[in-house]
Amino acid sequence: MSDTEVKDDRQYSKDHEWIKVEGDLVVVGITDFAQNSLHEITFVEISEVGTSLEANGECGLVESMKASSDIFSPVGGEIVEVNSELEDAPEIVNEDPYGKGWMFKLKPSNLDADLAGLMNAAAYKEFIESL
């Protein structure tokens, strides 16, 4: 898995989502490892803006040519923005999972507690190498 990119500036879940804190908001996406395993992403759907989520709550799905996978929000809060670019160009997630392929932003409700359950880059690297 040495060719899998993990960025130092964010936190990771065991479901292969990343989160990045930006001011009062949290940006959520899926990792390079996840997009690489899914391959050829054909469809992304995220719950509507305004939806309240618990940490690890199901909030959408990603379709690839082979399978469907649920997306979970690593932190709780309210969805304030969904990346609408992905509606017509879901392949952006394959091309740039940590940048333009972000999935949604939320206003966290319990950030400090939720962060405690996530991995930093080093721990996530170790986690995917153990798979």
Partner 1 sequence: MNDTLKRTHLYDWHAKHGDVIPFAGWEMPVRYTDIREEHMSVRNSVGLFDTSHMSRFLVKGQEAQMFLQTLTSNNVSTLKVNGGQYTICLNERGGTHDDLMLYRVAEDEYIWITNASNGPKIHNHLLKHSPNFEVDVIDKSREIVMIAVQGPKALHLINKITDRAISDYGRFSCYRLKLAGYDCYLCRTGYTGEDGVEILVLDTPFNDEGKQKAISFWEELLREGEEFGVKPCGLGSRDSTRLEAGLVLYGHELDEETSPIEARIPYAVKFKVEPHYIGYDVVKHHKKEGGIRKTRIGLVMIDRGIPREHYPVLFNNKVIGKVSSGGLSPILSKGIALAYVKPDSVIIGDTVEIDIKGRMRKAGVTKWPFYDPEVYGGSRTQ
* End-to-end C-alpha distance for the chain, whole angstroms: 10
Binding of partner 1 at residue 65 (CB under 8 A)? yes
Q: Which of 54, 63, 81, 85 binds partner 1 (CB under 8 A)?
A: 63
Torsion of CA 22, 98, 114, 73, to 10 degrees: 110
Q: Least distance from C-beta 66 to partner 1, angstroms?
A: 6
Binding of partner 1 at residue 68 (CB under 8 A)? yes
Contact, 92 vs 100, CB < 8 A?
Answer: yes
> Which CB, 67 or 122, lies closer to partner 1?
67
Binding of partner 1 at residue 40 (CB under 8 A)? yes
Binding of partner 1 at residue 95 (CB under 8 A)? no
Binding of partner 1 at residue 42 (CB under 8 A)? yes
Return the structure tokens found at 101.
């392929």
Binding of partner 1 at residue 115 (CB under 8 A)? no
Q: What is the rounded distance in angstroms from the CA atom of residue 21 to the CA atom of residue 10?
A: 8
Q: Of 67, 126, 71, which Cα lies nearest the Cα of 97? A: 71
Q: Which of 5, 39, 52, 113 binds partner 1 (CB under 8 A)?
A: 39
Q: Which amino acid, residue 130?
A: S
Radius of gyration in angstroms for the set of CA atoms belonging to the chain, rounded to a whole number: 14
Q: What is the rounded distance in angstroms from the CA atom of residue 131 to the CA atom of residue 125?
A: 10
The size of the interface with partner 1 (CB under 8 A), counted in residues, is 13
Q: Which of 5, 49, 52, 87 binds partner 1 (CB under 8 A)?
A: 87
Site residues (CB under 8 A) for partner 1?
39-40, 42-43, 45, 58, 61, 63, 65-66, 68, 70, 87
